[in-house]
């Protein structure tokens, strides 16, 4: 099955732009209770995934940084320790299984590399469970 059948489209996905501040990203992640969020550039291309861990390690490594400072620091100053690779909309669901083991979601891009949505690990597991149920019947 093609990934397009399980995609949550961009207009239903919360994301941040790479030129946003750390504070803007923190507030959005807190509001939506996300532990990870896609990062896009202003052209709509996926550039990576920002995690809570990335933010915490950044704060730990900059002991003099206080919360007020985060209003002025761009996300580009936050090293991402584990960037999630984006996959093509044409990928088969079965080819996402290994990637989904280490990510909450798989970012999906079109042929030009433009972010078009995500496939959540939950949808991949549900699909696999349905396939297993079909085989048993």
- Locate tokens 């489209």: which residue? 9
24 pLDDT band, cuts 50/70/90, is very high
Mean pLDDT of 95-104: 87
Mean pLDDT of 113-129: 93
Count: domains in the chain = 1
Going 101 to 102 to 103 to 108, the CA torsion angle's sign is negative
137 pLDDT band, cuts 50/70/90, is low
Quote the domain boundaries for residue 82: 3-136
pLDDT at 89 over 80: yes
| Residues 89, 4: Cα–Cα separation, whole Å | 6
Q: Specify which residues 118 forms β-bridges with.
A: 8, 107
* pLDDT reported for residue 107: 96
pLDDT in tens, 12-23: 999 999 999 999
More confident residue, 62 or 100: 100
Which CATH number is 80's domain given?
3.10.580.10
85 pLDDT band, cuts 50/70/90, is confident
Between the CA of residue 102 and those of 18, 64, 67, 72, what are the distances in Å?
Answer: 22, 32, 29, 31
């Amino acid at each position: 099955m093609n990934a397009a059948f399980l995609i949550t489209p961009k207009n239903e996905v919360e994301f941040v732009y790479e030129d946003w501040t750390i504070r803007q990203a923190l507030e959005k992640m807190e509001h939506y209770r996300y532990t990870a969020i896609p990062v896009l550039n202003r052209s709509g291309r996926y550039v990576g995934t920002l995690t809570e861990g990335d933010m915490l390690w950044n704060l730990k490594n900059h002991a003099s940084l206080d919360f007020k400072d985060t209003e002025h620091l761009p996300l580009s100053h936050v090293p991402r320790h584990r960037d999630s690779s984006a996959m093509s909309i044409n990928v088969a669901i079965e080819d996402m299984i290994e990637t989904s083991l280490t990510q909450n979601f798989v970012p999906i891009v079109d042929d030009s590399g433009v972010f078009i949505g995500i496939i959540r690990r939950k949808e991949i597991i549900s699909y696999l469970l349905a396939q297993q149920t079909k085989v048993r019947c």
